[in-house]
Structure 1
Amino acid sequence: MSTLEEHVDIGAPVDKTWDCLHRVDSIPQYVDGVREAHLEGKRTHLDLEAGGPTRELDLEITDRTTEKVMSWQTTGGPDLAGSVSLLPIDRGHTRVQARFEYDPGTIKDDFGGPKGFAQAAAIERGLRSDLQQFKSLVEHEK
């Protein structure tokens, strides 16, 4: 498994950021390639457009609310996992740390695209972009 970690500082309190993180229907607004997201029982269902035909992916999400950590793992399909941790900087600012765990072969086989260093660079750019879009969503939400 390969691991990628990125972070972004958001101009919003940790509780507001946590609430935004848990709005499943807003995932397409900040995760590139996600066309639709909704809850199905305890799982989050995603419709993706990533490197080819549209595909579906289910995630099992676990929260450690008191620590402000959300972890996720795919169920079925490609073996992907990650976590998002929120750390208060001060009363009005939050650091969002994202961790993404993946097998490079799985990404290539299931989603297409480059492999090797080019793949890692593309995934890193994508995660940074998603974090910036999440920052914009949180900061501009009333």
Structure 2
Amino acid sequence: MSTLEEHVDVGVPIDKAWDSLHQVENYPSFVEGVRDARTEADGRAHLDVEARGRTRELDAELSDRGGERVMEWRTTGAPELKGSLSLQPIDREHTRVQARVEYDPDTIRETFGGPKGFAQANAVERLVRSDLEHFKEHVEHRP
């Protein structure tokens, strides 16, 4: 398993960032490749994802450690992915969003295609960084 950690600081209070992370239906606005997303029963989410011309349906379980402002997630089928999004207040109007993703490089390549080795790690890092930047834009400009 490979692990990636990235963060971004957003110019909104922690409650607004926390609420935005829980609006799964808005994920297509800031998560690359997500074409459709919906919340399902029992803390589950369904995502239609397109990458390199391949479309996949992913189901995930979401759980909160609300007192700690941590949302954990994991896919319930292939590909096996898991991670977390944690929020930390910087001050009253700014929040740090920390993303942690755990994945098997071979599984990612088999499922979505793409490069191998170091090039793949760089691609995953760029993707997560881009998603965090898009989340920043989304949450800061949302009414």
- TM value normalised by structure 1: 0.98
CA offsets, 1:78-123, max 9 Å, x none? 1100100000000000000000000001001111000101000000
Instruction: Give the letter aligned to residue 15 of structure 2.
Output: D
Q: After the TM superposition, which residues 1-142 of structure 1 pair with which residues of structure 2 at under 5 Å, given as runs?
A: 1-42=1-42, 43-142=44-143
Structure 1 unaligned segments of length 5 or more: list them.
Answer: none
Q: How many Å separate the matches in 2 of 1:3 and 1:53?
A: 24
Per-residue deviation at 1:51? Answer: 2.3
Q: How many Å separate the matches in 1 of 2:134 and 2:54?
A: 24
Q: How many Å separate the matches in 1 of 2:139 and 2:79?
A: 29
Per-residue deviation at 1:53? Answer: 2.2
Q: How many Å separate the matches in 1 of 2:49 and 2:23?
A: 17
Q: How many Å separate the matches in 1 of 2:2 and 2:58?
A: 20
- SS at 1:77's partner residue? coil
Instruction: Give the letter aligned to residue 35 of structure 1.
Output: R
Instruction: Give the letter aligned to residue 25 of structure 1.
Output: E
Per-residue deviation at 1:49? Answer: 0.4
- TM value normalised by structure 2: 0.97
Q: How many Å separate the matches in 2 of 1:23 and 1:76?
A: 22
CA contact (8 A) 1:25 1:37 kept: yes
Instruction: Give the letter aligned to residue 9 of structure 1.
Output: D
Q: How many Å separate the matches in 2 of 1:92 and 1:53?
A: 39
- SS at 2:52's partner residue? coil
CA contact (8 A) 1:12 1:93 kept: yes
For these two proteins, the number of residue pairs brought into alignment is: 142
Q: How many Å separate the matches in 1 of 2:24 and 2:99?
A: 17
- SS at 2:115's partner residue? coil
